Amino acid sequence: MQPLEAYFANLPNLTSSTFQDYFSDFSLVKKHNPEVYDRAVEFWKNVIIETSRKGLLGEDRCIIEGPESLSEKLEYLETEPTLDCVFQELYKSGLITPLHSFSTTLTRMSSSSFLTFSLNSLLYVFISPLRSTMSFFAPTPSFSDSLYVMMPTLESLAQAVDKHYQIITINKEVYNVTERLFTLKEFKEECKAVVGELSDKDWEVFLQYLEIGKEWIITTIIDGVKIIKFLPKDKTAVREITSTDRGIISMKSTRTTLLEQISALEEQIKEAQRQAQKYIHRKQRLPALHRLKQKKDLTDLLHKRQESLDTLDDILLRIDSAATDAEVLEAYDLGRTTLSNIHKDANITPETVDEKLDALRDILADQEEFDQVIKESGELSGLRIDEEELEADQHPRELEERMTNSRKNTEKLTRLPAF
């Protein structure tokens, strides 16, 4: 059963009688039985809002297709509900707006405030006979099979984000400047827990809604990357992405790169340790030494990366805790210097690390072939591994016991009488 079919199958109070009312051409009863018509329209309005929010009508949750496409999705019901009039009611109630005029709608929302927008939407229910004279509502468009934005879905997503960040709540008086800046990728990851999966089109209209309709954020493009800044509730604050914001974004991007490198280096160290233990178990001295040398080099590099990360975290913390513009600029200047020094380090980029590791893998591969030849010629018989050369292992007690047993066996061999 498809998700949309399951949705209708699980609807409560959908009897055979109401099914006939809702899944037929109920526009015919608008004049002589307005009560049935209103119930059918309200039913379908709720269905469209809920199914689109759940992603049951397509890939997008904030954008839906017109009545013709929706009717095609319901063909399995073998009925032809009249959805044109439902879309008209959704539009007049302010619940949907054509995608092509979405920006205009948001501008109107912003100029009259969203509260006014919502009140006008509610007033429609009570003063329907006068709606043709209300300047707020634009002329009803013809509902061809175009695309429409679901305003209730956008509002519910915005409220979820608002609750998550406490953007405009009364108790949120102080805003950490670094916590209000995101790349689009970071923002998606941060919001995923509260808004769920959204398509690229959904994100596009959602960001427009937050920026133009709600005036909670501003966006810009820096080096091809979309940057999002949450605005403080203080309307007198600077409502732009400043040069300081750009510096903070640069540092946060570098921090993200460092975190990725640290994670990759930790995996490389684990693998080098595992390989070293394997060669120790096989009593292959040279490959074991190479692997431990590789582990040491990677550990040194990891420490450098961690120090750089700690420095950046300290700078970002100083920026957040700065009480005055002068302190912000001082911390920012320190961050700029630190960031410049980090970039001068030739090992900062993942490409440099990969090149070194690739070269090391080639050398180790050649060494393994060399060791295999030696092993086959019998030259490694009686091999003893020096504990000091192999440094401390993750299981030093086990390694020490193996080395002790090896020495005892050798001593026994030397004490055997000659024949």
Residue 269 lies in a domain: yes
Domain that holds residue 173: 156-230
The per-residue pLDDT for 164 is 81
Of 302, 291, 293, 304, give the one whose Cα is nearest residue 267: 302
Claim to verify: residue 300 and residue 181 sit in the same structural domain: no
Query: What H or E segment, with its residue span, contains residue 181?
Result: strand 181-183
Claim to verify: residue 51 and residue 70 sit in the same structural domain: yes
Length of the chain: 419
Per-residue pLDDT band for 417 (boundaries 50, 70, 90) equals very low
Residue 415 lies in a domain: no
Claim to verify: residue 193 and residue 226 sit in the same structural domain: yes
The per-residue pLDDT for 151 is 94
Per-residue pLDDT tens over the stretch 195-240: 999 999 999 999 999 999 888 889 998 888 899 988 876 666 667 8
Residue 236 lies in a domain: no
Residue 416 lies in a domain: no
- Report the largest interatomic distance among the alpha carbons of the chain, rounded to a whole angstrom: 121
Domain boundary pick from 115, 131, 148: 148
Residue 55 lies in a domain: yes
Beta carbons of 230 and 166 less than 8 angstroms apart: no
Q: What is d(CA 161, CA 115) in angstroms, rounded to the nearest whole number?
A: 18
The more confidently predicted of residues 33 and 303 is 303
Claim to verify: residue 295 and residue 398 sit in the same structural domain: yes
Given the structure tokens 């009897």, which residue do they identify? 15
Q: How many independent structural domains does the chain possess? A: 3
Beta carbons of 96 and 105 less than 8 angstroms apart: no
The per-residue pLDDT for 104 is 85
- The CB density around residue 203, as the number of other CB atoms within 10 Å, is 17
Residue 162 lies in a domain: yes
Claim to verify: residue 84 and residue 166 sit in the same structural domain: no
pTM of structure: 0.63
Domain boundary pick from 117, 148, 179: 148
Claim to verify: residue 294 and residue 168 sit in the same structural domain: no
Claim to verify: residue 14 and residue 64 sit in the same structural domain: yes
Range list of H helices, 282-390? 285-321, 325-344, 350-376, 387-390
Token pair for 331:
């911390």
Claim to verify: residue 221 and residue 324 sit in the same structural domain: no
Beta carbons of 148 and 98 less than 8 angstroms apart: yes
Between CA 98 and CA 89, with CA 59 as vertex, the angle to 5 degrees is 35
Claim to verify: residue 127 and residue 217 sit in the same structural domain: no
Domain boundary pick from 90, 125, 148: 148
